[in-house]
Amino acid sequence: MMEYADAGPIFKTPLHPYTSALIGAYPSIVGEKRTLKFISGAPPNLIDPPKGCRFHPRCPFAKDVCGRDEPEYREEEAGHYAACHFVDELRDSLRLGDG
């Protein structure tokens, strides 16, 4: 599990790059139409997953630590949990409209 929260916070402010990528990869059925984003690469091998964060080979925020160390799953906001070394960078990206 990469992220856990109620639906509202997940869709409004995802705290894991995989969640953000999934949100960008589906079409909206309400409101303004937007260009869909794709998630590069391929899903991990579930029998032999990559070390560290399983999303790191496909993650735009990944750094060396992501391939070495599995991120701690922790409560980042009240009731909103995420397992990512770079939650703050993702928050900044969303604030700037890049996510």
**Does a structural domain hold residue 4?**
yes
Please give the share of the chain, as a percent, with pLDDT higher than 90: 57
pLDDT at position 56: 95
pLDDT at position 28: 76
Count of the separate structural domains present in the chain:
1
pLDDT at position 47: 95
Q: Which domain holds residue 81?
A: 1-26+51-99
pLDDT at position 85: 94
- Ranges of the chain with pLDDT below 50: none
pLDDT at position 96: 56
Q: How far apart are CA 98 and CA 45, in angstroms?
A: 28
Q: Is the whole-model pTM more than 0.75?
A: yes
**Does a structural domain hold residue 44?**
no
